[in-house]
Structure 1
Amino acid sequence: MLTGKKILLGITGGIAAFKAASLCSKLVQQGAEVRVIMTKSATKLITELTLQALSKNPVYTDTFDEKNPATIAHISLADWADLVLVAPATANIIGKMANGIADDMLSTTLLATQAPIMIAPAMNVHMYVHPAVSRNLAELASRGVLMVEPGEGLLACGYIGKGRMEEPETIVAVVNSFFDRQNKIALRPLAGKKVVVTAGGTVERIDPVRYISNDSSGKMGFAIAKAACELGADVVLIAANTKLAPPSGVKVISLESAKEMYDAVAAEWNDTDILVKSAAVADYRPKEVSEQKIKKSGDTMTLELVKNIDILETFGRLKTSQFLIGFAAETTNVEHYAMDKLHRKNCDLLVANDVTKAGAGFGIDTNVVSIYDGDGLVESLPLQSKDEVGLRIMELAAQRLSGAKL
């Protein structure tokens, strides 16, 4: 699976560094070419000679120890890699990466590389949940850094909890999945398909200067549109109340209200293959819209609202061959409400999240979601960038559209 892939393995000074030897060996066994950078702390726990023997390549530890005078090592390695994998990734290297610190061979190379980066965090449970570490991980996820979440269990420090570096076999499987995904993108599985994505929060006017809306930024919908385009689809992005720059190669229809969004979806519906309803559509609108600014008068004001058309439910009833993906932003009982919404609105997939979770709310670049179908949970995605979430959602849609229920 990894034949010909160039993997730069960064090893930092956590006790889990001993697992890096097995990880390096397994990557090489799968055909990868592995080069290793170790931090000074890592060399206190495992020797350079061990990694040199396993990788069959020189091991780098010092920015100023240039092994080849014709090249600058950290730039050469940064350019060489197809993937940079940091395992274990301590709180220290995570903090350096999040804040752009480059004070050793590994952190300097990480700052210089344009290759995808994957980290496998490993640390004490209290360190892992510390607000600074959580913030740094969220920042890295928002930049597209891939995460191999740590496992739970007995840690070297004696505590029991989350923070143990995943086993090498699991990390190798994640690396394989990453390259498999890259191959799928190259195959363009949605070529020839039309994907319509709704995004942003609708605006329901009260008067020319006031309106009812919500906190949706449109970032998730824009990420899905980008992913669908990368997978080869012809994409129509129907966007409300967002200031985001649209992805290249995507047709954009900008509008405001729920009624306008319904009309736009209806106009695209007949030849649509996949409809992704990620927009946050207002359930109600003012019954009367004033043509002039409403002046302040009295201590109270009554605003009568009427129900908007339910776009997702309407097209759920109308669908024939179309594949329908809905979204549910919840604050409690996520699975219950997600499954109820999926069945009521005849969705093929329902993407749900708890917006009270760190990294999963509106207006940020990350998300934490669970994906459901009629049988229940399909997949739970950990904290990652919305671009990564969007790509996984569209991969699932492409698989289901082709008849493969994975």
Structure 2
Amino acid sequence: MDNVPLRVVIGVGGGIAAYKACHLVRYFKEAGHVVHVIPTHSALNFVGAATFEALSGNPVSTDVFDRVDEVQHVRLGQQADLIVIAPATADLLSRLATGRADDLLTSSCLVATCPVVVAPAMHTEMWEHPATQANVNTLRHRGTVVLEPAHGRLTGHDTGSGRLPDPEHIGSLALAVARCGRDIFPQSLKGKKVVISAGGTVEPLDPVRFLSNSSSGRQGFALADVAAQRGADVVIVKAHTEQLSLPSGARIIPVKSAVDLHNAMDEHAEDADIIIMAAAVADYRPTQVAASKMKKGMNDSALTRIDLTQNPDVLAGLVNRRRRGELKEGVIIVGFAAETGDAEHTPLEHGVDKLSRKGCDMLMCNAVGDGKVFGQDDNEGWILVSQPEDQPPLISEVNASAKIDVAIQIWDCVETLMFAE
């Protein structure tokens, strides 16, 4: 669906974060979609109509009595393929929940049959107030997708939950809803702690050089995105990644080397309900790390020969800790395998072997190389689910899809395991 232009309505509430809606408009326009912006009257106190008109290429109004001859208060909502409201203030959430139709935005939402994605933004106390939470629950019950707000700096000196996520983050989640359906973010992981490793570990040779890999961290972050939107308490053990929008509300534990990642995973896995090892962890590290930069001509042998030692097997170590009863009872452990295949075995065969050796519950096997997966927007491969009594694993093929869509498929499989009798 990303290649098919959508008719997107972007609603803008009257909060300080309204300026971020400008970036959201640009995000959808640059993706090739047709955008109409409907601000509330209060939103125009923060960003003028002329700005939204220039960015969207379409006229902007707030009143149901504008362009009455075109029945605009009905037409925009009826024709939309996707409605995204960002920011949604506490007042706007209340009006949406009670079915108000006193401006163009709420009227458009009432007639819409397309997915509606709402990104709240307000002070923490307002977000956590029982009235706001009741309105959110009402909207979700009716099928509206209400995203979890981010945690961070708010207006003034406040810090907490209620910050509007980055526009690219909102846009990516909203397009996933348009592709996969409005029911992809149920609150099915509420009360669950999820620990996810992401990115590629860095093994230093000297203060300048290091050994690493091409992992961008996008798949791990996409998994965290979906978990957070399904209500989980998410911890990301983050190795080296690209510049990525942080998943809403997730706690970030930065690490560098495989040993750092091993220690962080051991610490945060103790009370986890689900552990996902999506990071690309180096199997080996240099036995010695030079204290100063190794220069050509001074010690050429140090640059042409690198002695390596094996890193801890983080995934196998977590499975062994579970067997010893050191982790939470019933914890689900998911691994990843980046495989290229060889003369004797396909990537899938290597993945099946890894699942058996590691002893995890599930494994996502990727065929990498030749520009596939690492650093790309899409992912593909196979989801392998362990079966009891040495039976072969269940295998589900994952066709090339956006990494957020792959994350949804992975989480659906994880929840099937979690809630199996």
Structure 1 segment 181-330 matched on structure 2, within 5 A: 182-183=182-183, 185-186=185-186, 188-242=187-241, 243-297=243-297, 300=301, 301-319=304-322, 321-330=330-339
What SS does structure 2 have at the residue aligned with 1:378? Answer: strand
- Map of 1:361 onto structure 2: 373
Q: 2:80 aligned with 1:79, yes or no? A: yes
Distance in 1, matches of 2:174 and 2:395, equals 23
Identity in percent: 34
State TM-score, norm by structure 2. Answer: 0.55
Which amino acid in 1 is paired with 2:296? K
CA–CA distance in structure 2, aligned partners of residues 143 and 270 of structure 1: 30
Shift, 1:361, TM fit: 1.8
Q: In the TM superposition, what is the alpha-carbon distance from 1:78 to its structure 2 partner? A: 3.9
How far apart are the structure 1 equivalents of 2:369 and 2:292?
A: 38
Conservation of the 8 A alpha-carbon contact between 2:339 and 2:368: yes
Q: Deviations over 1:188-211 (max 9, x none)?
A: 111111110000000001111110
Count how many residue pairs are aligned between Structure 1 and Structure 2.
259
Q: Is the 8 A contact 2:184 2:408 kept in 1?
A: no
Which structure 1 segments of 5+ residues have no match?
1-8, 11-65, 84-112, 118-141, 148-174
Structure 2: give runs of 5+ residues left out of the alignment.
7-66, 85-111, 117-171, 323-328, 387-391
Code of the aligned partner of 1:340: D
1:339 match: 352
Question: Does the Cα contact within 8 Å between 1:144 and 1:385 map onto a contact in 2?
Answer: no
1:364: Cα distance to partner? 1.3
Deviation at 1:376, TM superposition (A): 2.2
Question: Which stretch of the first structure deviates more once superposed, 248-257 or 292-301?
Answer: 292-301
Structure 1 residues 82 and 248: CA distance shift in structure 2, 3 A: closer
Residue in 2 that maps onto 1:403: 420
| CA deviation string 1:149-189 (max 9, x = no partner) | xxxxxxxxxxxxxxxxxxxxxxxxxx9x944xx33623x11
Q: CA deviation at 1:114?
A: 12
Between 1:297-306 and 1:334-343, the stretch displaced more is 297-306
Within 2, Cα distance between the matches of 1:288 and 1:219? 31
Q: For 1:164-175, what aligned pairs fall within 5 Å after superposition?
A: none
CA contact (8 A) 1:276 1:326 kept: yes
2:180, 2:405 within 8 Å by CA — same for their partners in 1?
no
Two-structure CA RMSD over aligned residues (Å)? 3.5
Deviation at 1:302, TM superposition (A): 1.4
What per-residue deviation string (whole Å, max 9, x for no partner) do you get for residues 44-100 of structure 1? xxxxxxxxxxxxxxxxxxxxxx996222997444437689xxxxxxxxxxxxxxxxx
Output the amino acid matched with 1:285: R
What amino acid maps onto 1:397 in structure 2? Answer: V
The CA distance in 1 between the partners of 2:367 and 2:211, in whole Å, is: 23
Hey, what's the Cα distance between the residues in 2 that align with 1:357 and 1:227? 28
Distance in 1, matches of 2:205 and 2:233, equals 36
Return the letter of the residue paired with 2:250.
Answer: V
